[in-house]
Structure 1
């Protein structure tokens, strides 16, 4: 998958053990708005999450989008966009380097929806499905970019969409 951007905080020491993770992000656009998880604090997340061992990226995308939003991805609509690679000191194990490969896909969703299955953390943060404009995502994530790496990642991705560095067709 094409690398769109590498975000490297360089806050670690070379030679530290690496924890590597793959995740998927579903970019679903309707009426000029993007499906997001919107938190009660005002932040936005592009729908998606971690890939389980042995799981295909497309299967993880369908599962994660459904769990977080209740949207049902149409499998034949999935189109790869590219990957954002994040490198930083692990937030939980400070002696490790965290490397996350976020694989972004355009996809469409059915009109009908299913029950969400959010994590306790997502529920605690008040996340819910919201269709947001690119500008709402960029502005909403701005205050969180220093403290929530995913807010920075998703803001940068949406900026690339707005700047036509990523084609939506």
Structure 2
């Protein structure tokens, strides 16, 4: 009985998403898959969206990897705090999932799979200093409220550069989906 209810709730959740995108290697033969679960925040306020700007000129959604023992909600609250400084984040419905599978650049015997889960969020109240580390510091991550159209335009410009960030394709795809949603042009569907 509990299992049936869990499966029904999962199905309802999937049917309420606006996208379920897969790119990369579909068939995996004779290789193990290293999976990274990630969560990303979609926070919209007064026709602006909260994004993280890099010194390469692109924008990404606040978020990152889910650590061992964390739920998606816990990871998202932590990541938003670290990357934007927002202390109060309310996590809402899942908007979609973007799954990428490629050969692992560090180990040729593996495939690397990144499952990015996007959630509607509300970021409010006070902000504190960002808690960046490693490549986030190197790339000069700064939080910025920007229109969806501006973020798309900047990402499309940055994607033409030879030294662009690997996340641009994914983030631009999701920005387009959000723009369709905001304009009332999208339906809740789950398609690849």
Compute the TM-score of the two structures, normalised by the length of structure 1. 0.87
Structure 2 counterpart of 1:85, from 76, 85, 99: 99
CA contact (8 A) 1:88 1:97 kept: yes
Larger Rg: 2
Structure 1 counterpart of 2:119, from 69, 94, 105: 105
Alignment of 1:44-55 (within 5 A): 44-55=59-70
Number of the residue aligned with 1:161: 178
**1:35 equivalent in alignment to 2:35:** no
The unaligned stretches of length 5 or more in structure 2 are: 1-12
Question: 1:28 is paired with a residue of what secondary structure?
Answer: strand
RMSD (Å), alpha carbons: 2.3
Q: 2:151, 2:106 → 1: CA distance?
A: 27
Inter-CA distance 90–71: structure 2 relative to 1 (3 Å threshold): same
Compute the TM-score of the two structures, normalised by the length of structure 2. 0.77
